[in-house]
């Protein structure tokens, strides 16, 4: 038997309503914030991610699904949503739209890494991107959208952590301080950190090796190296979050795992899903659009992993409303009555009513058992007398009460 690839997971009929519940909540938040949907290809040119996500990130160096197509072009299954959204923004001339332009997506992403709870090789993200605003209000609005989304799902066991990693000017000074700190300790660090030392010392702070993490704990903090503009921006973001009543903690160790971030970065963190505690994260990326060939345009966004959200909801006992069941099951006693049941079911569906009927040539007794198993709210049985009289008894399954329905509702064939 051919089995599902490692790191992927089927969504079964009895579970799909949970996904729909989360996705509907995401779409509801987008509607309330006037955010329009975008859809980008599942694969892009590899260069987009190498330039956009960052050549020194784990995503690009270790985790991407990259291959050559039949034309010899290098393409990659998208490992995250922002780079593709930025490519869409540039290529389709959306910079000429009224700004800020607010977009969202619900899409699969792919990373080759060790599967674990809440982290698969194929995973799904709900993301929001806001293009065109450099103001702190955009930061606070994006964070508030993420906060409200989690709240709408009933998720309480999360803490918002925020940081600022500054602009290019701040980063240059900070990188000098990092190099001064790491230089005498470089021999104790992993090969990846040694490679990043010259290319991007900030990325060393994201290392997952325990020895490196211990060294990084004593590294200089970016908040101590912010320029006046970045410091003022961060203070305004904090003030706006306070005005919205959103609680947060400043965590100077947040740098996020992708190179395009600037200034505000944030994560919503839980302790209920194991080591992979971040259920939603994002930040500002004011240079990415220009780096990918567009005009200089500030932007900010976030992404939330649906698998992690569903795992967190399960682990914390959040009940998702059950899937809907058929409004009515119409049983037929013989060939003529089954045909009539089939026609009535079609008419009811055309009116927006969820109706079911037999498609297995079952006996009436078996049809009624099946109707009970699928949770039909009402059951009607049509036989010879019902066909002749144009009347039928409809039974409410929850109470056992029956009501006679006629007046041509079931006219003779």
Spatial separation of the C-alpha atoms in residues 359 and 367, rounded to whole Å:
10
Position 254 scores a pLDDT of: 87
Q: Calculate the alpha carbon distances from 248 to 2, 14, 140, 285, 305 in Å.
A: 47, 37, 12, 21, 20
Residues 37 and 66 occupy one common structural domain: yes
Average pLDDT, the chain: 92
The answer as to whether 9 is a domain residue is no
CA-based R_g, the chain, Å:
28
* Among candidate residues 282, 315, 348, the one where a domain is terminated: 315
Residues 121 and 150 occupy one common structural domain: yes
CATH code, domain with 245: 3.30.930.10
Residues 286 and 239 occupy one common structural domain: yes
The string of pLDDT tens digits covering residues 41-98 is 999 999 999 998 887 777 888 899 999 999 999 999 999 999 999 999 999 999 999 9
Residues 401 and 338 occupy one common structural domain: yes
Position 118 scores a pLDDT of: 76
Position 259 scores a pLDDT of: 78
Residues 338 and 293 occupy one common structural domain: no
pLDDT of 17 over the 50 cut: yes
Query: What is the average per-residue pLDDT within 198-227?
Result: 88
Extract the tokens encoding 101. Answer: 């332009």
Extract the tokens encoding 245. Answer: 């009543």
The answer as to whether 339 is a domain residue is yes
The answer as to whether 410 is a domain residue is no
pLDDT of 413 over the 70 cut: no
Residue 157 is part of which domain span? 16-167+227-315
Position 276 scores a pLDDT of: 60
Residues 163 and 291 occupy one common structural domain: yes
Spatial separation of the C-alpha atoms in residues 225 and 183, rounded to whole Å:
19
Q: Are 311 and 288 in contact (CB under 8 A)?
A: no
* Among candidate residues 280, 315, 350, the one where a domain is terminated: 315
3-class SS at 382? strand
Query: How many domains does the chain divide into?
Result: 2
The answer as to whether 7 is a domain residue is no
The string of pLDDT tens digits covering residues 339-350 is 999 999 999 999
Position 410 scores a pLDDT of: 46
Triad 304, 286, 146: Cα angle to 5°: 25
Residues 233 and 110 occupy one common structural domain: yes
Query: What is the average per-residue pLDDT within 109-132?
Result: 92
The residue ranking higher by pLDDT, 217 or 365, is 365
Q: Are 44 and 81 in contact (CB under 8 A)?
A: no
Query: What is the average per-residue pLDDT within 166-195?
Result: 89
Residues 288 and 371 occupy one common structural domain: no
* Among candidate residues 315, 343, 375, the one where a domain is terminated: 315
Instruction: Please report, rounded to a whole number, the percentage of residues in the chain having pLDDT higher than 90.
Output: 75
| SS3 of 309-321 | HHHHHHHCCCCCC
The string of pLDDT tens digits covering residues 290-343 is 999 999 999 999 999 999 999 999 999 999 999 999 999 999 999 999 999 999
Residues 80 and 161 occupy one common structural domain: yes
Extract the tokens encoding 123. Answer: 């995973």
The answer as to whether 185 is a domain residue is no
Q: Are 115 and 68 in contact (CB under 8 A)?
A: no
The answer as to whether 216 is a domain residue is no
Position 275 scores a pLDDT of: 60
Residues 122 and 21 occupy one common structural domain: yes
Residues 335 and 294 occupy one common structural domain: no
The answer as to whether 386 is a domain residue is yes
CATH code, domain with 359: 3.40.50.800
């Amino acid at each position: 038997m051919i089995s599902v690839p490692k790191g992927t997971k089927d969504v079964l009929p009895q579970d799909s309503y949970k996904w729909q519940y989360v996705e509907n909540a995401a779409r509801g938040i987008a509607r309330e914030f006037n955010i329009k949907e975008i859809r980008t290809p599942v694969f892009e040119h590899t260069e987009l991610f190498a330039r956009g996500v960052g050549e020194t990130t784990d995503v690009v160096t270790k985790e991407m699904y990259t291959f050559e197509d039949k034309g010899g072009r290098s393409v990659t299954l998208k490992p995250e949503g922002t780079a593709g959204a930025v490519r869409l923004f540039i290529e389709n001339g959306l910079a000429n739209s009224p700004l800020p332009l607010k977009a969202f997506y619900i899409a699969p992403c792919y990373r080759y890494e060790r599967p674990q709870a809440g982290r698969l090789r194929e995973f799904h993200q709900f993301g929001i991107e806001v293009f065109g605003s450099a103001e702190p209000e955009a930061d606070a609005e994006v964070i508030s959208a993420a906060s409200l989304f989690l709240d709408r799902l009933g998720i309480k066991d999360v803490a918002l952590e925020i940081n600022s990693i500054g602009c290019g000017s701040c980063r240059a000074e900070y990188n000098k301080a990092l190099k001064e700190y790491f230089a005498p300790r470089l021999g104790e660090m992993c090969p990846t950190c040694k490679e990043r030392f010259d290319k991007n010392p900030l990325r060393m702070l994201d290392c997952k090796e325990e020895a490196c993490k211990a060294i990084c704990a004593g590294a200089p903090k970016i908040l101590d190296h912010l320029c006046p503009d970045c410091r003022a921006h961060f203070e305004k973001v904090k003030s706006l979050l306070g005005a919205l009543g959103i609680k947060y903690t400043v965590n100077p160790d947040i740098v996020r795992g992708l190179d395009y971030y600037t200034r505000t970065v944030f994560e919503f963190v839980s302790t209920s899903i194991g080591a992979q505690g971040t259920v939603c994260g994002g930040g500002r990326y004011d240079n990415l659009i220009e780096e990918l060939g567009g005009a200089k345009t500030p932007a900010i966004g976030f992404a939330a992993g649906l698998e992690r959200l569903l795992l967190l909801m399960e682990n914390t006992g959040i009940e998702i409303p059950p899937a809907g069941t058929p409004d009515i099951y119409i049983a037929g006693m013989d060939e003529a009555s089954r045909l009539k049941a089939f026609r009535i079911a079609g008419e009811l569906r055309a009116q927006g009513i969820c109706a079911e009927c037999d498609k297995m040539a079952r006996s009436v007794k078996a049809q009624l058992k099946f109707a009970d198993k699928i949770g039909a709210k009402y059951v009607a049985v049509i036989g010879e007398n019902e066909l002749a009289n144009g009347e039928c008894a409809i039974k409410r399954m929850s109470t056992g009460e029956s009501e006679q329905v006629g007046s041509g509702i079931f006219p003779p064939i």
